[in-house]
Structure 1
């Protein structure tokens, strides 16, 4: 590497050490001089030492002994930090090893900045500072964490890092087959969105508020959320609150459909994006109007944990069956059969139909996929209005029907005006 590159890399190593040192120094800023084992100066020097160790190792280590100088530096720094860390622990009666581990991490990032990828070193340094600065938040979150939430997180991690690498990627079966790995990835993605929404409600305050609960429920299933809100509307004198939750769930569902299409089939997603955004915006405005008219604020129950193993298996089986039926209908009955299947599958929820249609591109015509997704979205919104009329109060169903009708009309007008259909 040339001299400019050397200075850039060494400068990054120093900057990483300084950034971590600022956080460590700020946390113990009220301590007198000499009462902390490492502050901004020490961590800056540790980062620079890592960078120098990386330079020396590259320029002076004989062939076959790569890493010897870095390892020597690391052992010395770890011993020094450990000694002073033990002294501080005895003096304060604490058992924290964070500063010692942070120092070792800073050294490693300094080495990486000089001898490895600068982008990775920068990102890891920022992540380290974020983790250190989030102590209070993380500790409070752990104190509020329940066993079922922890178990669900473990299941999600196991699915992503243990199960997924073992799942074959090649499609199986007739009509183009179904890729097991794609289905597992979809399950993990939807489960992750659900878990994030669940945690958000917990942090906001246990899921209070129909509007918040409906929006979070829309991340999981707007249809299920609508049914839950419909049942709730029968038990309250004010239907505007549950209606706001159901309408918010529909709005989030439309936005989520747009994001899924952009991620899985960008060409289709960009063509439907204006109409979906307008429809979702109309629903969101309807939710805000409904909640503003509510005389009293009702308390929404926290959504159920979405990561019971049985629920994950049912989701995988449902998506597999829908994918097979959609592909078979498309090849056997042509475009008309695909439209019927899209409408029928959307009676339960729109995600499976949307993802399946996106996965059928480019074998499927883009115009046909656009119409099929439009049918699925519209059928799902109509179905939710019917469910609301059957299970909910009159005021609830009327508010949802009005918002849904305006959203469908607005989305279609925008799509036609843009010349996409």
Structure 2
């Protein structure tokens, strides 16, 4: 906790200014909101933030009592708003209390300032996105809501209950780690799914590829291939979506490596980074050649918070982890590369997480892990090209095969050389 009596005056003033700025930011947003402006706005919220900062800084022992005292006038104002405006929304009331806590955080420590800024910014975005969020909720049907609820429930119940150690009955696997990777990968897909749903049907082809790449690049490829069979003139725009979805796989893999084994990231970033750059350039050329837009229909992208696919990925990840360890022990790096290729045909995430884990444990070298991840990415890229060729028109298959072939060759060249 910062002691204003001993801390430099400039530091104290700077922290108060941060608190004031956060209060003003949230106050401006609340005043813009029809339901919030009459309750508290651009003047009241900065005062709330300064109130919290001054009490926490100069009278920390009485902070709890001060917050309790503030609840009384806030409750009176809320009751008056309900009485006169017939608005029972609690958003502004809760935001006001949060601003007091954010102001107090700025006087707590340097980390407190950072947390206050991050939380304040995220809160502002959340409050500002009221209409898109409500529209998103309205578009999600009952089946999707149940799927999400079941998945979150299973995560909250199962994850803490799983033992966080290697079990002989599972051939040395750590069940909590396996399930944590399932949650992580599914979470990435859900973020992209929400973005696509919030932005609605007017999202363009660029977002089609980006969202599809995080949710399911395979599903995106199949969807685009089917579109070309319905309308052959769309092969350029559909090729762009397929290529974009395919190259999103590379930064997604880098995110997974960074989470599981940050020490491996510099080595993997070079080949996957080059493949991403080559793919972006190729996608840019395709976009330039594209004169129209095409959207993914709402049914093309499914909510990734589904229990059965999540369990399936968990099984795949566990099997790939065991097979990779055995192949490395029995056949060395050659056996591991073969496993990486076969695994990559179906899923890149499982192999990326597996090799990152093995490298972190010292079971394989950085070079072997990097090469295996690139091989898995190349194998999966080849599958996208094959799907476009088999399910789409000849023009789509040729264009996608050439572009993704160049992308794959650039990564292979780096790991071979």
| Alignment TM class, shorter chain as reference | 0.7 to 0.9
**How far did 1:153 drift?**
4.4
**How far did 1:402 drift?**
0.5
The Cα RMSD (Å) is 3.3
**How far did 1:364 drift?**
0.9
Give the corresponding residue for 1:258.
254
**How far did 1:414 drift?**
4.7
Give the corresponding residue for 1:120.
112
Give the corresponding residue for 1:377.
377
- Counterpart contact for 1:207–1:300, Cα < 8 Å: no
Task: Show the 5 A alignment for 1:246-395.
Answer: 246-294=242-290, 296-302=292-298, 303-361=301-359, 362-395=362-395
**How far did 1:202 drift?**
1.8
Give the corresponding residue for 2:162.
167
TM-score by length of 1: 0.82
Which has the larger share of helix? Answer: 2
Looking at structure 2, the residues matched to 321 and 413 of structure 1 have their Cα atoms a distance apart, in angstroms, of: 29
Give per-residue Cα distances to partners, 1:47-83, cap 9 Å, x unaligned: 444345446655xxxxxxxx5x334333332112222
Looking at structure 1, the residues matched to 409 and 95 of structure 2 have their Cα atoms a distance apart, in angstroms, of: 57
Looking at structure 2, the residues matched to 347 and 81 of structure 1 have their Cα atoms a distance apart, in angstroms, of: 59
Looking at structure 2, the residues matched to 336 and 29 of structure 1 have their Cα atoms a distance apart, in angstroms, of: 62
**How far did 1:136 drift?**
4.5
Give per-residue Cα distances to partners, 1:17-47, cap 9 Å, x unaligned: 563255436744899xxx9554555444444
Alpha carbons of structure 1 residues 40 and 156: separation in structure 2 relative to 1, 3 Å: same
- Counterpart contact for 2:20–2:46, Cα < 8 Å: yes
Looking at structure 2, the residues matched to 369 and 283 of structure 1 have their Cα atoms a distance apart, in angstroms, of: 22
Looking at structure 2, the residues matched to 11 and 208 of structure 1 have their Cα atoms a distance apart, in angstroms, of: 41
- Counterpart contact for 1:164–1:181, Cα < 8 Å: yes
Looking at structure 2, the residues matched to 408 and 261 of structure 1 have their Cα atoms a distance apart, in angstroms, of: 19
Give the corresponding residue for 1:197.
192
Task: Show the 5 A alignment for 1:138-177.
Answer: 138-145=130-137, 146=140, 147-155=142-150, 157-173=152-168, 177=172
Give per-residue Cα distances to partners, 1:243-272, cap 9 Å, x unaligned: 222111111112222332333333433223
Alpha carbons of structure 1 residues 352 and 24: separation in structure 2 relative to 1, 3 Å: same
Give the corresponding residue for 1:5.
7
Give the corresponding residue for 2:86.
93
TM-score by length of 2: 0.83
Q: Which residue of 213, 218, 226 maps to 1:223? A: 218
Q: Which residue of 116, 119, 123 maps to 1:131? A: 123
Q: Name structure 2 gaps, 5 residues minimum.
A: none
Q: Name structure 1 gaps, 5 residues minimum.
A: 59-66
Q: Which has the larger radius of gyration?
A: 1
Instruction: State the secondary structure of the residue aligned to 2:129.
Output: helix
Give per-residue Cα distances to partners, 1:137-178, cap 9 Å, x unaligned: 223312331144444544454455443222222123489722
Task: Show the 5 A alignment for 1:69-88.
Answer: 69-88=62-81
Looking at structure 2, the residues matched to 106 and 295 of structure 1 have their Cα atoms a distance apart, in angstroms, of: 48
